[in-house]
Amino acid sequence: MKKIKAALISVYYKDGLDVLVHSLAKQGVTFYSTGGTQAFIEQLGYPVVPVEELTSYPSILGGRVKTLHPKVFGGILARRENADDLAQLKQYDIPEIDLVVVDLYPFEETVKQYTSLFAGEMTSEIIEKIDIGGISLIRAAAKNFSDTVIVSQKSQYAVLAQYLDENDGQTSLEFRQEFAKQAFGVSSHYDTLIHRYFASQQPYEAFKESYLAGEALRYGENPHQKGYFYGDINEVFDILNGKQLSYNNLVDIDAAVHLMAEFSEPTFAVLKHTNACGVASRPAVVDAWKAALAADPVSAFGGVLITNATLDVATANEIDKLFFEVLIAPAFEPEALQILMKKKNRILLQQKLFSFPAKQFKSLLNGVIAQDFDKKIETAEELRTVTKIAPTAEQTADLLFANKVAKHLKSNTIALVKDGQLLSMGCGQTSRVDALQQAIHKARSFGFDLQGAVMASDAFFPFPDCVEIADKAGIRAVVHPGGSIKDQDSIDYCDAHGMAMVLTGIRHFKH
């Protein structure tokens, strides 16, 4: 165990710092500090040795250089069991510094304030939030954890204060090593954020991602697998009710919010294993829910539900009849929330406004693959009619709806839609014919009449067999990317049987 006798404290965030300062003062610790932190400690009633007095140099270059001095770093890095180090401390009148409390300028928060990087004065503001002295102090103290305690984030203030109160102002080697490990995590994360900013113009020159907050999940996809989430779920949702989110919950939730981002009109969706088994748009939320559920009430059991409208009482009463894992909405009426919270394990998430990352990643083999998120949303103006008959306005609306849904289903996929309602889908099939036949079978099994429905495919039709099967089922309009050398065969079939076909030119595979 080692006693803390002297502490260097220089922090940006001071909320909660008073608890630690009071604890250190009780132990008779000498304080060294700078600027605003020095004033904060003095206001608490404790004397402070200014760093300028220790170094005999003022803060210079507009505050860019304050602590970068041998008298500071010598006191932090000196090995207490090394006679030569101790002799040099004495020779140059350098005090031993046993504790360093420092955080970093809010670089990430500053970047988030701006939507355009490298834009005149905005860049200057961001550059000034690249910490030099703080990151150096963190690394120095963490390196010398044998003798020095490093507090690198405000969440540790109270932890250290309690530990010192319980251990007569002393710390163990294991405690110092744990804080050093966390400090290197902070410094690594910080450098990654800076690199990401500078590499924003060439985002794939190096793969660097960092998430400070890691949370152990109940398990992974299966109970025998460990699972973890690295991120901050509280940036995306207010968790209003329910048990801890699981690995599978998070995967389904991610799929749900990406799907719902496609729709602006009041819409409800039901997902199971990342695939939408029900989607509908209606003026009233309760009607959207009923229509979404009707597409596959069997698969909806235990599913993830999401809407882009306020969850009202009428809808809550209807949803309350179903067992589900997760419900996501941008807002809940208070009475609706009371209805849904009666079952304590139901996970209720209120979605906040947040920005999706620009890139998505997946680990495989001995590395990582990365790509842009598929954010393309086709519009009516981009649809190219290739048949003699053009789709009606109503059919065009359904074709766009079906295309949005198909984009978020596992390939190979087919989505069948009528009147703003997903009637059924076939997904994850090894052939497009199988996907279509699955969709037709499901629609009929739940009592839907496909006469007048439309069909969307995530990729082109290599043969006219799919449009022929669709025609015989009553489907009257088709949307797909096109691009097959035999596109004309499918077009000719549609012309011969009074069907409309439009091409998007955009494929939406999802593996």
CA distance 279 to 291: 7
Q: What phi and psi values does residue 112 have, to the nearest 5 degrees?
A: -65, -20
- Which of 2, 129, 195, 273 is the catalytic position? 273
Q: Where in the chain is the domain with CATH 3.40.140.20?
A: 234-351, 380-503
User: Which superfamily does CATH assign the domain made up of 234-351 to?
Assistant: AICAR transformylase, duplication domain (3.40.140.20)
Residue 458 above 90 pLDDT?
yes
Q: Report the mean per-residue pLDDT for the chain.
A: 90
Q: What does the pLDDT read at residue 488?
A: 97
pLDDT band at residue 137 using 50, 70 and 90 as cut-offs: very high
Q: Is 143 a catalytic residue?
A: yes
How open is the CA angle 248-253-255, to the nearest 5 degrees? 100
Q: Is 273 a catalytic residue?
A: yes
Q: What does the pLDDT read at residue 72?
A: 85
Residue 120 above 50 pLDDT?
no
CA distance 179 to 103: 13
Lowest average pLDDT, out of 69-78, 200-209, 229-238, 278-287, goes to 200-209
- Which of 14, 22, 129, 143 is the catalytic position? 143
Q: What does the pLDDT read at residue 121?
A: 45
For residue range 317-331, list pLDDT tens digits in order.
999 999 999 999 999
For residue range 472-508, list pLDDT tens digits in order.
999 999 999 999 999 999 999 999 999 999 999 999 9
Residue 447 above 90 pLDDT?
yes
Distance from first CA to last CA of the chain, Å, rounded?
54
Q: What does the pLDDT read at residue 206?
A: 64
- Mean pLDDT value of segment 447-466: 96
- Mean pLDDT value of segment 133-148: 91
In 323-473, beta strands by DSSP E: 326-329, 347-351, 359-364, 367-372, 384-385, 414-418, 421-426, 454-457
Evaluate whether the domain defined by 380-503 bears CATH number 1.10.10.10: no
Q: What is the 3-state secondary structure (H, E, C) of 228-261?
A: EEECCHHHCEEEEECCCCCHHHHHHHHHHHHHHC
Of residues 111 and 280, more confidently modeled: 280
Contact 248, 226 (CB under 8 A): no
Tokens of 464: 């006219």
Which residue's entry shows tokens 């449009």?
467
- Full-model pTM: 0.79
Q: Where in the chain is the domain with CATH 3.40.50.1380?
A: 2-201
Residue 152 above 50 pLDDT?
yes
Evaluate whether the domain defined by 2-201 bears CATH number 3.40.50.1380: yes
In 294-431, beta strands by DSSP E: 304-307, 326-329, 347-351, 359-364, 367-372, 384-385, 414-418, 421-426
Tokens of 279: 């989607």
Q: What does the pLDDT read at residue 213?
A: 66
- Mean pLDDT value of segment 165-179: 92
Residue 215: alpha-carbon gap to chain centroid:
13
Tokens of 116: 């355009």
Residue 58 above 80 pLDDT?
no
